Amino acid sequence: MVELKVIAKTNVTKENQILRQILGICSALAVTNLMTNSLVMGVGVTFVTALSSFTISLINQLIPQRIRMLIQTFVIAFYVILVHLFLQTFLPSISKQLGPYVGLIITNCIIMGRAEAFAAKNPPLPALVDGFFAGVGYLLVLLAISFVREILGFGTIFGFSLGLNFTPWTLMVMPPAAFFVISILIWITSAWAIKAEEKGRRA
Amino acid sequence: MAPQVSPLVIFIASIFTNNMILANFLGMCSYLAISSEYKTATGLGKAVSLVLVITAMVNWLVYHYFIVPLGLEYLQFIVFILVIAALVQILELFMDRYLPDLHANLGVFLPLITVNCAILGATLFMVIRHYNFLQSLLFSLGSGIGWWMAICMLAAMREKMGKAKLPPGLAGPGIAFLITGIMALAFVGFSGIFAVQ
Amino acid sequence: MKRGYLYTVIFMAIVSIVLTAILAISNAAMLPTIKDNVWKAEQLALLDAFGVVSDDPEAYFDAHVKEKDFGTVKGYMLEDGDTKAYALPIEGPGLWGSISGYLALSEDLKTILGITFTDQNETPGLGGRIDEPQFRDQFRGLNFEPLRYSEELSAITGATQTSSSVLRMINQFYETILPTLEVN
């Protein structure tokens, strides 16, 4: 079981898909101006990544080589549709706000990336864990970005007012802010990674 | 019937004020990965624009003449992505056979395009906003051109920046995002351009 | 292991049938709730436009709100004791696509009771904020006449285009549809 723990840890930290591998940003940044939307989106991605990795690993031996990509896409789209139906049924207002971005989970590179790089070569259980924590790492980054943007842009967290008395920084709500915030996050984490590597080399 | 948004306004808006990358964050993966050289970037930009327009048009027809009459709205994601994958394959075969020059230029990018969010994104936006055929055509054309323009601008700047000295953590994707942010900020300035309506 | 063409086709067919069947069942199971959600959201939006606060919005709606034909358009009528009010559909182009909603008017059609949007695709966090009460509540109690943004009625910062689309919708309604309404 040690192995599963390692998979979990590296996926959230060292090999975090967004910050270290720069994958899967497409469908994500657009919803990071509100934390609630980021949370729902992140949970959706986690669900799809975990279960599609699991399914693909399960049937991997049976998939004919020439239609592998097609089957993978099919499986991913299947889970995305389930998420979409679920949101429409139980969280209709959030589903409306997320608009096309739920459907775009299909083209999120993380999911296909994990399917190809891990699920196709490993048994189902580790694949499930790998996909799940790749999604969790993704969720945490989305929450971090939206935390900064929602506080500065609206003065709220998850929609609850902080009681701050200031003029909201409109730019934070607008698209450019997402780029600035993620760029600073990447800067900080890569600087850490570089430092840790240097330390490791010296020791 | 209420007045519709003019297709021309949609065209201009999708290039400038609501650019696929700078405002909707779509197609970021290949945007960041293939933008260190101007020449490859413009090749990818052309290929994306071409595929975007073709797939959006085919998906429009599929949606209105196949999905809606059969009541299969809940399967639309699967149908759209399969149409995109199939069209990219067909386009590659067609170009290989009849347009070898073009294929030599754009062929390498085609497989990448199936998973480009901008392509599926354009289709989904078109459906959610209930665009008619003409609106969809100009929307996809504008989105493609906007995407092409954005990746070219980033690549041109990254080429120059190759010579600059950057803080170690910022080099690579960090600075690419920062530049994109500044471009996005500049593009916000376009938001006043259509007062006509 | 090398597999034949036939295997590929059969495999693809089985995967498609299984996955599509599961989706079809889930869709059939959830569709009634989804449709119900849409109708509930519409009811809430209408009550909100009328300015009605109720503990049991569904029961209140069934008891007091009826569909009504106004000749040129179809809308809703609220009757609660002596108060009467009308909700009329408004529609117009926004920045991205059509915006539609209801405008609630007093019985004499001279005062705006409220405005609500049922379908809009404006930028979330910017133009999308026309849905927020802070913006919509500004319209409550205004005299129904051609409107413009001012000290009392402010547009959404950063979403000039959407904000002016909303006023254009209301003003167009005032000019073209209001004179044609048959109330009785």
SS (H, E, C) chain C: CCCCHHHHHHHHHHHHHHHHHHHHHHHHHHHHHHHHHHHHHHHHHHHHHHCCCCCCHHHHHHHHEEEEECCCCEEEEEEECCEEEEEEEEEEECCCCEEEEEEEEECCCCEEEEEEEEECCCCCCCHHHHHCHHHHHHHCCCECCCCCCCCCCCCCCCCHHHHHHHHHHHHHHHHHHHHHCCCC
Q: Mean of the pLDDT values across residues A84-113? A: 85
Q: Give the CA angle between residues B2, C178, C136 to the nearest 5°.
A: 75
Q: What is the pLDDT of residues B120-167, one digit of tens each?
A: 889 988 888 888 899 999 999 999 999 999 999 999 998 888 888 888
Distances (CA, A) of A137 to A8, A16, B47, B176: 9, 6, 32, 22
Compute the half-sphere exposure of residue C86: CA atoms within 13 Å on the CB side of its CA: 21
B41 touches B154 (CB < 8 A): yes
Q: What is the pLDDT of residue B2?
A: 46
Contact flag C8-A34 (C-beta cutoff 8 Å)? no
How close B51 gets to chain A, by Cα (Å)? 15
Residue C82 CA to residue C64 CA, distance in Å, equals 12
C179 touches C109 (CB < 8 A): no
Instruction: Say if residue B91's pLDDT is above 90.
Output: no
The total domain count for chain B is: 1
Strand partners, C119: C100
Instruction: Say if residue B196's pLDDT is above 50.
Output: no
Residues on chain C bordering chain A, Cβ-to-Cβ distance under 8 angstroms: 3, 7-8, 11-12, 15-16, 19, 22-23, 26-27, 30, 33-34, 37-38, 41, 121, 124-126, 128, 157-158
Q: pLDDT confidence of C157, banded at 50, 70, 90?
A: confident
Strand partners, A180: none
Q: Which of C11, C121, C124 sits opposite A33 (nearest CB)?
A: C124
Q: Mean of the pLDDT values across residues C156-168? A: 80
Instruction: Say if residue C99's pLDDT is above 90.
Output: no
Q: Which of B33, B125, B181 sits opposite A179 (nearest CB)?
A: B181
A76 touches A137 (CB < 8 A): no
Q: Which of B33, B120, B174 sits opposite A104 (nearest CB)?
A: B120
Q: Determine the angle formed by the axes of helices A124-154 and A2-12, rounding to 10 degrees.
A: 30
Do the domain assignments include residue B36?
yes
Q: What is the pLDDT of residues B47-72, one digit of tens each?
A: 889 999 999 999 999 999 999 998 88
Write out the residue range of the structural domain in which residue B47 sits.
7-189
Tokens in use for A188? 């900080």
Do the domain assignments include residue B178?
yes
Residue C112 CA to residue C79 CA, distance in Å, equals 16
Smallest CA–CA distance from C93 into chain B, residue: B5
Instruction: Say if residue B182's pLDDT is above 50.
Output: yes
**Cα-to-chain-centroid distance, residue C2:** 56
Smallest CA–CA distance from A182 into chain B, residue: B177
**Phi, psi angle pair for A160, to nearest 5°:** -90, 130
Q: What is the pLDDT of residue B150?
A: 92
Instruction: Say if residue B22's pLDDT is above 80.
Output: yes
Q: What is the pLDDT of residues C43-67, one digit of tens each?
A: 888 888 888 887 788 888 888 888 8
* Range with the largest mean pLDDT of A80-84, A133-137, B160-164: A80-84
Task: State the average pLDDT for chain B.
Answer: 84
Q: What is the pLDDT of residue A18?
A: 67
Pick from B25, B46, B188, B151: which is nearest to B108 by CA?
B46
Q: pLDDT confidence of B168, banded at 50, 70, 90?
A: confident
Contact flag C30-A74 (C-beta cutoff 8 Å)? no
Q: Mean of the pLDDT values across residues A150-161? A: 83
Distances (CA, A) of C114 to C106, C142, C152, C166: 10, 9, 15, 13
Task: State the average pLDDT for chain A.
Answer: 84
Instruction: Say if residue B195's pLDDT is above 70.
Output: no
ipTM value greater than 0.85:
no
* Cβ under 8 Å to A: B residues 18-77: 22-29, 32-33, 74-77
Residues of B within 8 A of A22 (CB-CB) are: 29, 32-33, 173
* Residue with the larger pLDDT of the pair B191 and A94: A94
Q: Which of C7, C30, C41 sits opposite A64 (nearest CB)?
A: C7
* Cβ under 8 Å to A: B residues 117-156: 117-121, 124-125, 127-128
Q: pLDDT confidence of B1, banded at 50, 70, 90?
A: very low
Q: Which of C19, C41, C125 sits opposite A173 (nearest CB)?
A: C125
Q: pLDDT confidence of A20, banded at 50, 70, 90?
A: low
Q: What is the pLDDT of residue A26?
A: 67
* Chain B interface disruption, residue of C96, C98, C102, C172, most B CBs within 10 A: C96
How close B195 gets to chain C, by Cα (Å)? 8
DSSP B64: I
Q: What is the pLDDT of residues C114-140, one digit of tens each?
A: 888 888 877 666 777 788 888 888 888
Count A/C contacts: CB-CB distance under 8 Å. Answer: 64
Q: Residue A156 is inside which H or E element, if any? A: strand A156-157
Q: Mean of the pLDDT values across residues B183-191? A: 83
Tokens in use for B100? 């070898």
Contact flag B4-C98 (C-beta cutoff 8 Å)? yes
